[in-house]
Amino acid sequence: MDHSMPIYVISVAAELADMHPQTLRQYDRLGLVTPSRARGRARRYSQKDVSTLREIQRLSQEGVSLEGIRRILELENQVSALRSRVEELSTELASRRMYSDPSRVFAAGLAGDVVTLARGQRPRPRSQALVVWTPERAHNAR
For 65-117, how does the pLDDT look when each residue is reduced to its tens digit (9 = 90+)? Answer: 999 999 999 999 999 999 999 999 999 888 877 666 656 666 676 677 776 66
Q: What is the mean pLDDT of the chain?
A: 82
- Specify if 79 maps to a domain: yes
**Same-domain status, 94 and 137:** no
Backbone angles phi, psi at 79, to 5 degrees: -60, -45
By the 8 A CB rule, do 55 and 77 touch?
Answer: no
Residue 139 confidence (pLDDT) above 50: no
- Specify if 4 maps to a domain: no
Backbone angles phi, psi at 14, to 5 degrees: -65, -40
By the 8 A CB rule, do 54 and 17 touch?
Answer: yes
**Same-domain status, 62 and 126:** no
What is the model's pTM? 0.62
DSSP 3-state of 107: strand
**Same-domain status, 31 and 61:** yes
- Specify if 3 maps to a domain: no
**Same-domain status, 135 and 74:** no
**Same-domain status, 56 and 120:** no
Task: Print the domain residue range for 30.
Answer: 10-98
**Same-domain status, 40 and 77:** yes
**Same-domain status, 33 and 86:** yes
Read off the pLDDT band of 142 (50, 70, 90). very low
**Which pLDDT belongs to residue 45?**
96
Q: Identify the weakest region by mean pLDDT among 5-9, 99-103, 136-140.
A: 136-140
Read off the pLDDT band of 39 (50, 70, 90). confident
Read off the pLDDT band of 59 (50, 70, 90). very high
**Same-domain status, 62 and 130:** no
**Same-domain status, 118 and 52:** no
- Specify if 90 maps to a domain: yes
